[in-house]
Amino acid sequence: MSRDYGELTIRELVELGGQAITPERVEANEAYKQKQKLLNADKRQFTKVNERECSLIVNTLTLTQAGTLLSMFAYMELGESGLLYHNGKELSIKDFSKLTNKSERALQRSISELVNLGYVTAHKSGRSTYYSINTQIANRGKSQGEGFFSRLFVTQLREVIKGATLQELGLFLHLLPHFNTRAYVISKNPHELELNKIELLNREKIAELTGLSLPTVKRLIPSMMRKGLLTGVKTWRTAIILHPRLVSRQLKKVTLEDVTDIIENELNKKKEW
């Protein structure tokens, strides 16, 4: 005899092997499905950077070393190998120098230092040496992973790398853990989603946070804006933004309204800029 399951209590339903789902859980499940659908529709290739690892290692790097590492992120083999790879072959430093428009000597020095620090591994093959990045720091792929990470869109990043200096690229890597998920502004609380709680960082705070000199930060930021690494929104103060075509933590597009709301919130009005 069949039962009318619509008349069962929650306890009876669970005892029969069923599952009771709250309206909040239904809504969360639908939101997750929609997010996965949008992720699968996004065909842009990216390198996934572990934010915790990135925030730790940048403090051990010079700007030139950090800029070299960021450039290497743009040429990692798809998958988990971490190898420098492009157009079906592993890259030597000479190959990498041509692709990035950077001095072979400068890259050789920086990559050797990154090897000594344990962030990069050298692999000998005959007379050639190839390199791979520690995949705890970054790996190349299309799929979403667990934990906090930033996506660097490699096609767009490669174009910017050609015209930027290693120091400019190094400051970009320093700023990567500090861009806000909601609006991509450089902020004290990068994972805060409520606009009225996002606290902006000015140049002085960026210098303090990164351990760089204020003149260096003030020199690099305008040139990074001209070269497409950063952008900004200026009212009575400027919000510094990692360029949205290079990075992502979410699928919602950054809007001018969101950024101006952040600039005008009470936390930022109280600051001297």
In tens, the pLDDT along 13-38 reads 556 655 656 666 666 666 555 544 54
3-state secondary structure of 237: coil
Amino acid at 258: D
Amino acid at 166: L
Annotation: CATH topology of 46-139: Arc Repressor Mutant, subunit A (1.10.10)
Residue 129: the pLDDT is 92
Mean pLDDT of 102-127: 95
Q: pLDDT averaged over the chain?
A: 85
Q: What is the pTM of this model?
A: 0.81
φ, ψ of residue 261 to 5 degrees: the values are -65, -35
Mean pLDDT highest for which of 116-125, 136-145, 147-156? 116-125
Least-confidence region, from 17-31, 108-122, 141-155, 161-175: 17-31
**Residues 107, 112: Cα–Cα separation, whole Å:** 8
**Residues 134, 73: Cα–Cα separation, whole Å:** 10
pLDDT grade for 43, boundaries at 50, 70 and 90: low
More confident residue, 120 or 271: 120
CA atoms within 13 A on the CB side of 16: 11
Residue 33: the pLDDT is 57
How far does the chain reach from its first CA to its final CA, in angstroms?
A: 75
Q: Are 56 and 117 in contact (CB under 8 A)?
A: no
CA atoms within 13 A on the CB side of 173: 34
Instruction: For residue 222, give Cα distances in angstroms to 12, 51, 72, 81, 232.
Output: 66, 25, 24, 36, 10
More confident residue, 160 or 253: 160
Mean pLDDT of 85-92: 92
In tens, the pLDDT along 180-225 reads 999 999 999 999 999 999 999 999 999 999 999 999 999 999 999 9
Span(s) in the chain for CATH 1.10.10.10: 46-139
3-state secondary structure of 141: strand
pLDDT at 239 over 60: yes
Determine the CATH number of domain 179-269. 1.10.10
Q: Are 192 and 261 in contact (CB under 8 A)?
A: no
Pairing of strands 89-90, 238-242: unpaired
Residue 40: the pLDDT is 47
Burial class (CB in 10 A: 0-12, 13-18, 19+), 237: middle
Burial class (CB in 10 A: 0-12, 13-18, 19+), 81: middle
In tens, the pLDDT along 126-136 reads 888 999 999 99
Tokens at 147, concatenated:
């934990």
Q: Which of 189, 185, 181, 190 is nearest to 240 (CA)?
A: 185
3-state secondary structure of 118: coil
φ, ψ of residue 272 to 5 degrees: the values are -85, 125
C-alpha 156, offset from chain centre: 13
**Residues 25, 32: Cα–Cα separation, whole Å:** 10
Q: Would you say the C-alpha torsion 213, 229, 137, 111 has a positive or negative sign?
A: negative
